[in-house]
Amino acid sequence: TSITSAKIQVNGVHLHYQQTGEGSHAVLLLPGMLGSGQTDFGPQLKSLNKQLFTVVAWDPRGYGKSIPPSRDFPPDFFERDAKDAVDLMQALKFKKFSLLGWSDGGITALIAAAKYPNLIQKLVVWGANASVTQEDVRIYNGIRDVSKWSEKVKKPLEELYGHKYFAETCEAWVDGISRFAENSDGNICQQLLPDIKCPTFIIHGEKDPLVPQAHAEYIHKHIKGSRLLLMPEGKHNLHLRFAEDFNREVENFLR
């Protein structure tokens, strides 16, 4: 089946999304920092089972093709993304749906699952964290300067945004997410985890250089009945690098 691209007005902005498949189980893919459906989920849009699932990948406001507005990082940017994501799926007339969230998109998905329990069927998160430690801040500052990124990771984002927007938004993200470290326990959404009632699957790459494994273990411990899968060779982008294994695990969980 082909992949359609469109925009729809949600909460005063025009959100861009891609959609494919005709299955009865709707699934929303939530990208990471600076990400879009196109840059973050190629293998999932292409290969997730189109008979079982209707797959939607969105570009959060200020990312991908959901510009304008420009991306900003107020203290509630994760809550804003969670509301946008849920409202987008409702605008597309999906009554219930599952969430697959990567990195920042995983944090957004955790918040959405906790706050809108009647709408969310199942939840899969990977490379996500519910708090920010001083160690995390050190890691974030290590990626602040995009000129030091590998060509492979940098190129698609420079093509999508142009160098200036890409570089400035990355710096703004580092500042925005680092502010959570000032909260008690570095809290982003720790208090919401016990509110997540849907079946939850947490995947973590044991070689993830951006998100220490303790984050995945914390989320697993605080979401009742959740399942944790550790991928020994997985890094932060395990769903791209090991797309076949990842897709298979996720499909089995969502069935």
Residue type, 240: L
DSSP bridge pairs for 54: 26
Give the active site residue among 98, 103, 178, 226: 103
Distance separating alpha carbons of residues 141 and 225, to the nearest angstrom:
34
Distance separating alpha carbons of residues 83 and 94, to the nearest angstrom:
15
* Catalytic residue check, 14: no
* Catalytic residue check, 222: no
Burial of residue 93, with CB atoms counted within 10 A of its CB: 0-12 exposed, 13-18 middle, 19 or more buried: exposed
* Catalytic residue check, 70: no
Angle between helices 134-142 and 163-178 (to 10 degrees): 170
- In the sheet with 97-102, reading across from the earlier edge strand, the strands are 4-10, 13-20, 53-59, 25-30, 97-102, 120-126, 200-205, 227-231
Give the active site residue among 59, 66, 208, 239: 208
In this structure, the number of other CB atoms found within 10 A of the CB of residue 12 comes to: 8
Annotated catalytic residues are 103, 208, 236
